[in-house]
Structure 1
């Protein structure tokens, strides 16, 4: 409510104004009176005065002098001058002092009420501008953090997707929010990086992508926002524009953004444009965009609109991999890769490849490959347990490009090791070399087989075929030869000799040594060292 002060040396004029104006209608809660400038100043010192009705001609000090004092001490107070003289000099001074109006006596109460209402309107407007100015500074400093948190909470349903809940959340955070406002969300998703990046480098790149989106997509729209979601995903939120070419212009901006990111940030990415939504509908819209992103396994570096992306088939048509399995058995790995690639590319051209079909294809193809490798004696889990292979497998079903890369890597690696297996001599040589390097360790048949990516039974067969010995027999013979040399040529304790060739148990070493040489290690040392003398 507002407070008003009437300053006039004529008592009947003051009482006439007090009784003639409908103060309640104007929203004036308190009306004070003063008959001299001194009394008026005393009122100002004890009360907040919003509007002053002031007579110009008064004894001792006039209303113009009082207004100059009020402007200096209480600049928020608005003044309306009252006078009996239509003097241009007074009118000019009143305007210079910033008065709301200049009313001649006798005062028409209707005109006075209109003038007071004009003063009230100005007070309200000034108050709003002051609040906006004060908030504007706060907003300038904190806007990015506040707005980003607001949208993230909407997307994650920390704010319920209801108009009232969104309005209340905005009010609690001092965020100006218009329920009629509509926005367009755009989901940006990195599909792959063209070069190997550390986690730190990837974060730097994602920050660069965010800045580029602010510049190329938002541009001069100051109230647009780019929000970082989970790794590799950004969400652009733009206020909706009603003109007919808005969507075409926005799509063009996204296309330029994709081109720039490929050129400067070494990545493939796609943009998924949503429809116009109010704040309470943001959660549902972003979820739809996420679904589109997951379903897009066929296309890179494209702009999609929600209304354009439709799956046009209801059942998945997988190829007959039984034929490919036979081809793998006959070592036609490259031919299988060519046919599998052709199948996937055909599905892309027909627009009949989605995430589910890609997943089913990957599972069947992986199973077929592992069975083929098992039949060749290769342990797939070890052949593909290196970090590079694991990375290919982890991303295989994200897109057709990733799946094709995984298939090529898998087949190249299989061909490499199968070629090694066909040359059994090289496998045997690798086993022999490995045994010699690790002779002092507790080696098992499984350890040796793992080194050449074969199962132990298959390795034993090709090793015995080449050397005439089982791997365990060959390992013992090599250890026995080394033990004999150490016993003859060194003074190492027998327990140390046993440990050096992989026997932690001295008694077991002695028994095995005697079994194959007909004497214990000490006897063997004494006999052969004497013969050396």
Structure 2
């Protein structure tokens, strides 16, 4: 009979689970409870736990954190997550691909029984790993902390890449080691996410990605472990039990099944790179070569690469004539340019000729073409395409063909949409006028106004004068003096305050400009209009009927 531990910070939920299932009937002889992560750790220290039912969110330590602790110390324990958050349906599906389950509260007891039965089967299977060699069994059963740290030190060259140095480090850490052990490295790289995720969601997805990789990629191998040496990177170390090396065709099939599941359940694409068999001290160099293969892969975001598979050969760049594309963009024929760009990339992919250097050159030339068209149209490229989304897309554009095309579609779309809006230049002029009115009290320049509408200052000046008959500076001055005149006429605000209100810090300069355009200084202008208002008031009083 097996032992089951229920971990939940809600006593009623714990009691409901404990009393709602006939545990003896499914092979559970002992049901233990804990109301938080710390209590659960105490239970593990006292009693072997075969299956743990764990709430994923608790106030003093999440279920994910508790599971990491359990895996490090009790790797055979099987875990089932419980939660009341229905918005994590995708996480439920994702984790079901791995060795765990994910149940939504309130939990149907039939579903709970089925999940526990599944966990017990897996527990019994892992308990029967008696045919392994001494070393192979050790790699599997003691991977979480000690061995994983050992491997990461090898990959990062913290342990020198010599057999003697590795043996010495293994002895110092009390890890059984043989220089005859041979492993096959498998690099799994997340190539793209299909959507933006919060940090919390991404952590759950990354955890589920790892669990499903252990289930789908490694289940057919007698020994091995899965490492996470870097963000969006996993390295499976397969073999090591002294038998024949890994069956590459079966491993390829496992990787393909895993890659097919990733878009559906994890909203991402992954690529898998299988390395050459190597001894432990050679694995650091093997890992470096696999990372290099990923860096050189600009063609495929979801593919299994076998050892020694021919990569695209570097050849003289054969770039398209983008002068024609520039003419098409100036004429607004964006679809023809996009089709041409997609056709070129597709041709290079089919020919196996797309290299990082060729893709980089293509992206740079295309960027130059877009910037040239923007310059001709008077649009400032760094203003229009300097936002966060545009910058992030461009930063990824040389990583793969798909990333390059995503950036091209974005850049062309944004540039052409804005260029089209310029054809209705009054709208741009109105934007400039509105900006001026909103900043009359600030020290703004022609450059500031042009930047607001993403235009070259000279181009905006031409468009503005064509539609208003005034230069920007004359219009700005007129607006300021009109406001000053209204304030002088209708308020008792000091003249210095009026000057400050319309952006003049220098009172003398304001007085000179006001007199030049209004034929009177500010004080004289106020007196005239005050006298005029007094005369009007007297006139209205004399015209009123007497009682």
TM-score (norm 2): 0.70
Q: State the shift of 1:149 in Å.
A: 1.4
**1:245/1:203 Cα in 2 relative to 1: closer, same or farther (>3 Å)?**
closer
- Residue 309 in structure 1 maps to residue 310 in structure 2: yes
Residue aligning to 1:330: 331
Three-state SS of the structure 2 residue aligned to 1:357 is helix
Q: Indicate conservation of the 8 Å contact 1:289/1:306, yes or no.
A: no
SS of structure 2 residue aligned to 1:263 = helix
The alpha carbon displacement at 1:456 in A equals 0.4
2:233 aligns to what? 233
Whether contact under 8 Å (1:261, 1:267) holds in the other structure is: yes
- Tell me if structure 1 keeps the 8 A contact 2:189–2:234: yes
Residue 191 of structure 1 is matched in structure 2 by 191
Corresponding residue number in structure 2 for 1:87: none
**Which residue does 1:296 correspond to in 2?**
297
Contact 2:223/2:240 (<8 A) preserved: no
Alpha-carbon shift at residue 143 of structure 1 (Å): 4.2
Q: CA deviation at 1:142?
A: 6.6
Q: Deviations over 1:84-114 (max 9, x none)?
A: xxxxxxxxxxxxxxxxxxxxxxxxxxxxxxx
2:17 alignment counterpart: none
Does structure 1 residue 412 correspond to structure 2 residue 408? Answer: no
The 1:336/1:252 distance shift into structure 2, 3 A limit, reads same
CA contact (8 A) 1:292 1:309 kept: no
User: What does the per-residue CA deviation read over 1:476-525, in whole Å, with 9 as the maximum and x for residues that have no partner?
Assistant: 10111111111111122222211111112222211211111122111111
Structure 2: distance between partners of 1:153 and 1:458: 59
C-alpha separation in 2, matches of 1:252 and 1:525? 89
* Whole-angstrom CA distance in 2 between matches of 1:422 and 1:232: 45
1:394 aligns with 2:395: yes
Indicate the residue corresponding to 1:167 in structure 2: 167
Answer whether contact 2:192 2:301 (CA < 8 A) is retained: no
In the alignment, which residue of structure 2 is the partner of 1:89?
Answer: none
Determine if contact 1:334/1:411 at 8 Å carries over to the other structure.
no
Counterpart CA distance in 2 for 1:526 and 1:148 is: 87
Shift of 1:314: 2.9
Rounded to whole Å, the distance in 2 between the matches of 1:313 and 1:476 is 61
Q: Measured at CA, do residues 514 and 222 of structure 1 come closer, stay the same or move farther in structure 2, by a change above 3 Å?
A: farther
Q: Structure 1 residues 234 and 141, CA, compared in 2 at 3 Å: closer, same or farther?
A: closer
**Aligned counterpart, 2:370:** 369
1:21-49: per-residue Cα shift (whole Å, max 9, x none)? xxxxxxxxxxxxxxxxxxxxxxxxxxxxx
SS in 1 for 2:455: coil
**Aligned-partner Cα distance in 2 for 1:299–1:313:** 17
5+ residue gaps in structure 2?
Answer: 1-133, 535-547
Largest Rg, 1 or 2: 1
CA contact (8 A) 2:314 2:355 kept: no
Does structure 2 conserve the Cα–Cα contact (< 8 Å) formed by 1:240 and 1:276?
no
Mapped partners of 1:529, 1:225: distance in 2 = 90
Q: When the two structures are aligned, how many residues end up with a matched partner? A: 401
Rounded Cα–Cα distance in structure 2 between residues aligned with 1:337 and 1:139: 51
Conserved 8 A contact 1:190-1:269: yes
Q: CA RMSD in A?
A: 2.5
Counterparts of residues 160-309 of structure 1 (less than 5 Å): 160-219=160-219, 221=221, 223-239=223-239, 246-309=247-310
In structure 1, the residue matched to 2:75 is: none
What is the distance in 2 between the residues matched to 1:248 and 1:273? 11
DSSP 3-state at the match of 1:208: helix
1:485 aligned residue: 486
Q: Give, in whole Å, the separation in 2 of the partners of 1:492 and 1:188.
A: 71
What is the distance in 1 between the residues matched to 2:296 and 2:141? 40
**In structure 1, distance between residues paired with 2:246 and 2:153:** 31
C-alpha displacement at 1:382, in angstroms?
A: 0.7
**Residue aligned with 2:230, SS:** coil
Deviation (angstroms), 1:300: 2.0
User: Contact conserved, 2:140 with 2:223, CA < 8 A, in 1?
Assistant: no
Secondary structure of 2:527's aligned partner: helix
Unaligned runs of 5+ in 1: 1-132
SS of equivalent residue, structure 1 residue 311: coil
1:221 shift after superposition: 4.9
Contact (CA 8 Å) 2:426, 2:467: kept in 1 or not? yes
1:474 corresponds to: 475
Which of 1 and 2 has higher RCO (CA within 8 Å, sep 6+)?
Answer: 2
How many Å separate the matches in 2 of 1:394 and 1:201? Answer: 24
Q: Is the 8 A contact 2:184 2:245 kept in 1?
A: no
| TM value normalised by structure 1 | 0.71
Question: Is 1:532 the equivalent of 2:536?
Answer: no
Is 2:245–2:277's contact at 8 Å kept on the other side of the alignment? Answer: no
**CA–CA separation in structure 2 for the residues paired with 1:352 and 1:481:** 66
